[in-house]
Amino acid sequence: MGGNEFKYVQDAFQSNWLSTVGPNLTALESEFSTLVGSHSVALSSGTAAIHLGLKLLGVKTGDEVVTPTLTFAASCNPILYEHAVPVFIDSDRASWNLDPNLLSDFLKNRARLNKLPKAVTVVHLFGQSADLDPILQLCRQYSLPLLEDAAEALGAVYKGRSPGTFGDIGVFSFNGNKIITATSGGMLVSQNKTLVDKARFWSTQARDPGINYLHSELGYNYRLSNVLAGIARGQLEILPQRVQQRREIAFYYRDQLARIPGIELMPQAPYGIHTNWLSCFLIDESRFGLSQASLIQFLDAANVESRPVWKPMHTQKLYKQYECIGGDVAEDLNLRGICLPSSSSLTRADQDFVIERIREAHTLAHD
């Protein structure tokens, strides 16, 4: 925590604004809108924001929605909430995000068949923006709306602006593992205020104006509480510090591991700022001496938690039946990618311990 979170939470308790209305909510939305340059509404989670975002884009039963395969399930589960059909697209190696060239080929083929999807979604992975210019150009060319999942990329920059603010809808997350957290929660943003107002309406059970309990549309219990909004306000004040900390952690790993062959930091795309929300590395087993899976086991034995890069959706039991364009890059990144301890509170001593264990693993593998 940064310091002011408890003050804002105390304000909520002292004023008795504890539910889904109150000064913290109003202030959080205003402060977040100023930060990213879009209208915003605070919701109970990033997943809820994606769900409402898809509804705002008119996604309905049977509609196809293009989405990256290399992501966390929460990015695409809301497609199934609306009984729509995901179409997965592989990653590019330059950013690990959705490959614009594959998207172009897919849309060109679908246009010939007069069977374009309903919408495109993009996920900005691990703190790095996707290359949005060619994706936006394709969406404009084929008149397709774009939803950006920036849950992992708050604080990142793409050509001078916040990813999540280029498409029709953007989504951010305050989940407990994100770069800043309200323990849970999320934001839906858009340059279109009408869309944001509609999401706010839906998020409180779509209750029509008036003293009676009138409902003409389906609504959801998706609004953030005023208490958690207080935590988010305090966290938002220290976002620049958290971004700096995460980047320092990633680059310290990179520099200290530079002499070890076969372990390489996730690419840092030249078009913006990568927050390095997670410090992700690729393992070349032939050079490092161990596979990613073996290194994870070695670190676990030393009480160091590490994880693979996301398992592609097209390889999951839930999603195997759906079409995937490409997939080899995402599968390779999952097979060789490792996420090292990255918390903003990670001490230099703890990070040195992790680095020493990686050096030890490499040395033992070559003895």
What would the pLDDT profile of 260-308 be if each residue is shown by its tens digit? 999 999 999 999 999 999 999 999 999 999 999 999 999 999 999 999 9
Give the residues across from 87 on adjacent strands: 66
Share of the chain above pLDDT 90, in %: 92
Question: Band of the pLDDT at 39, cuts 50, 70, 90?
Answer: very high
pLDDT at 9: 87
**Residue 232, token pair as written in the block:** 């988010």
pTM for the full predicted model: 0.95
Cβ-Cβ contacts under 8 Å for 13 (sequence gap 6 or more): 227
Q: Using CB atoms within 10 A of its CB, is residue 317 exposed (0-12), middle (13-18) or buried (19+)? A: exposed
- Cα angle for residues 174, 179, 183 (degrees, 5° grid): 35
Residue 120: the pLDDT is: 98
pLDDT of residue 22: 87
Q: How far apart are CA 330 and CA 95, in angstroms?
A: 11
Left if phi > 0, otherwise alpha if psi is -120 to 50, otherwise beta: which for 126? left
> What is the pLDDT of the chain when averaged over all its residues?
96
β-strand partners of 45? 185
Separation CA 186–CA 176 (nearest Å):
11
Contact 71, 149 (CB under 8 A): yes
In this structure, what token pair is assigned to residue 250? 């990633």
Q: Which of 158, 133, 179 is nearest to 269 (CA)?
A: 158
Nearest Cα to Cα of residue 117 among 106, 102, 101, 105: 106
The per-residue pLDDT for range 60-79, each reduced to its tens digit, is 999 999 999 999 999 999 99
Q: What is the DSSP string of 296-364?
A: HHHHHHTT---EES---GGGSTTTTTS-EE--HHHHHHHHHEEEEP--TT--HHHHHHHHHHHHHHHHH
Q: How many CB atoms lie within 10 A of CB 96?
A: 26
Q: Quick: pLDDT tens for 179-201.
A: 989 999 999 999 999 999 999 99
Q: Tell the burial category of 44 from Cβ atoms under 10 Å away from its Cβ (0-12, 13-18, 19+).
A: buried
